[in-house]
Amino acid sequence: MSGPSIRQAAVALLAGALFGLGLVISGMTDPANVIAFLDVTGAWDSRLAFVMGGAVAVAAPAFWWVQRHRRTLLAEPAQLPATRGIDRRLVAGSLLFGIGWGLAGICPGPGVVAAALGSGGALLFTGAMLVGMALFALWRRR
């Protein structure tokens, strides 16, 4: 099996850079902004809702395209989930993600971007995330 083509790698790099730039511009790499969004009974900051709404507005047409054509915009076969059901693993993973997001004020995408920008807390978060991913991979192989 060969790796991605230069075109695929360039598009992935451009998409990742655009995503990271959007996170920086929107302030979502700052855990204080995320925690302020989650503080619905205090000094609530609604900016994250607009960031999420913008993401949905951009992603929805792409998902529609892939569902209809079964191919990406680069004409590659789409890799869609085999199941759409809600099971115990999905619920448990969602709970862990939400708890971690609420405690740390940061999730994987913004964490990686902030770590790349040199944030000490984000470097710690990203390191802990990678260790957790490795431990899960080891546990899953058992």
Joined together, the tokens standing for residue 67 give 């569902």
pTM beyond cutoff 0.85 = no
Query: Rounded to an integer, what is the distance from CA 70 to the centroid of its chain?
Result: 22
DSSP bridge pairs for 77: 71
Q: Compute the average pLDDT of residues 67-78.
A: 85
Joined together, the tokens standing for residue 36 give 């302020």
On the question of pLDDT at 100 being above 90, the answer is: no
Neighbour-count burial of 31, counting CB atoms closer than 10 A to its CB (0-12 exposed, 13-18 middle, 19+ buried): buried
Least confident of 48-52, 78-82, 119-123, 133-137: 78-82
Say what angle helices 6-26 and 47-69 make with each other, to 10 degrees. Answer: 160
